[in-house]
Structure 1
Amino acid sequence: MGSLFDALMLGILALLPLINPPTTVALFLALSSGLSREEKDRQARLTAFYVFLIMTLTYYIGEFVMGVFSISIPGLRIAGGGILCIIGGRMLFPQPRPTSRSAEDDEQRTSFAFIPLAMPSTAGPGTIAMIISASASIKHNTNFPPWVLLTAPPLIFLLTALILWGCLRASDLIMKATGQSGIDAISRLMGFLLVCMGVQFAINGGVEIVQRIIDSNLHRLPQP
């Protein structure tokens, strides 16, 4: 059991900086403004579930799926960056709210658990790249018994999702402290930060592509 505990701690400590719960909580506060407590709880549960699902599927079949569709990590970063820029722009320059909304409008407005909360805000390109890299290298790991390598990954993803869920549930405390004006300010700030993150994702993806092209051309040069 000591080996399992060590593996769980290593995995959680590696994932938490990447998923960055405080950023997700701030984004959750901005997107859930005006929703009922029940709807906020539902969105928090869905976000945690989607994060667990994304990380688990990425670990077991992510490398295979990306290979089948010829998707590279730089491509994933650029696509995620574009999504963040679009969502951030909408938060930075919000449209006037209509005086009356239908149930369909409410459903569309509150469908933010998967995009952008779960992906790419929480389980983004960095998290996916790290999980795929870990799944490829863990097969050669001899530091832990085989049963630990088999059971630890899903437990790590489950505990990480539960930590995120707890942070999102505590967001109401922050909302009570800031008030509606504070939430509006957080929304615009997070919109600006999301645009910056999206641009940075795209830049990182572009740099990786250029670096691969340079490395490929260097390998083709005749060796002295």
Structure 2
Amino acid sequence: MIAEILKNVAIVVVGLLPIMNPLTTIPLFMALTKHMSQDTRRLQARKACIYAFSILTAFLLLGNGIISLFGISLPGIRIAGGIIIMILALRMIFSGDDTSSAVDAEPSEIKKANLDYSFSPLAIPSLAGPGSIAVTMSFGSEIPPSHLIAGHMVVIVGIAITVGFAYLALSAAPWIEKALGDHGMQAVTKIMGFLLTCVAVQFLASGIRDFYVDFSQM
């Protein structure tokens, strides 16, 4: 029984981790928290992971009801996430940073550093994006009716482990930044901004395609 549970937890982690891919969130995290203290950065990473875990768990348990209640579809979530990521990515490309850099030089005047980016865009759509939500709901749909409680607990544990990997990745961001230096960070920010633009385009394209498929079947 224990071996079967561990096997199913591993399946959830293996299925969810590549979709969440916390490594792609590191450049966005570093850009958004550039003017924050180390303690604030750690708090942002912790809150982002808690939010991501809560979002994925909520969609696991209440996904179909949430979507029906608000009239939201997964294609709509994909397009909304793509737009948010596109805006942030273009700022990273053309300014080498995002709006968190648009602050006064005086430390007492740096108010943008106190902004909370943990829920959006770090938790959603970056960590708990449309793909992660879709995968989580797919795992939930495969739970046998005779093992609902145990099945949901297995998926929740898998989500927690995956989010734990994400927290480790975000926590390592300051060391990565120190290793690269200012010029290296600017180069990485622009490169990752381009890659995030590609991800955003993919989100938008897949969302539009799914919208077209849904409407063509009506």
Scaled by the length of structure 1, the TM-score of the pair is: 0.85
- Does residue 1:115 correspond to 2:120, yes or no? yes
2:210 is matched with 208
Q: Quick one: percent identity of the two aligned structures?
A: 32
Shift of 1:103: 5.6
- Does residue 1:134 correspond to 2:135, yes or no? no
Tell me the alpha carbon deviations over residues 166-192 of structure 1, each in whole angstroms, 9 at most, x when there is no partner.
111122221121011111222222222
CA contact (8 A) 1:30 1:190 kept: no
CA contact (8 A) 1:7 1:148 kept: no
1:85 is matched with 86
For this pair of structures, how many residues does the alignment match?
211
Structure possessing the higher relative contact order (Cα contacts under 8 Å, 6 or more residues apart): 1
1:45 is matched with 46
In the TM superposition, what are the counterparts of 1:1-224 in structure 2 within 5 Å? 1-94=2-95, 97-100=103-106, 102=109, 104-108=111-115, 111-140=116-145, 148-216=150-218
Give 1:99's aligned amino acid: A
Shift of 1:52: 0.8
CA contact (8 A) 1:92 1:189 kept: yes
Shift of 1:97: 4.3
Give 1:164's aligned amino acid: A
Tell me the alpha carbon deviations over residues 132-166 of structure 1, each in whole angstroms, 9 at most, x when there is no partner.
222223245x7xx5553142122111111111111
Distance 1:134 1:155 in 2: 12
Structure 1, unaligned runs of 5 or more = 217-224
Structure 1 or 2, whichever has the larger Rg, is 1
Q: 1-10 or 168-177, which moves further after superposition?
A: 168-177
Q: 30-39 or 163-172, which moves further after superposition?
A: 30-39
Classify the secondary structure of the residue corresponding to 1:93: helix
Distance 1:54 1:4 in 2: 23
Distance 1:159 1:68 in 2: 29
Shift of 1:73: 1.0
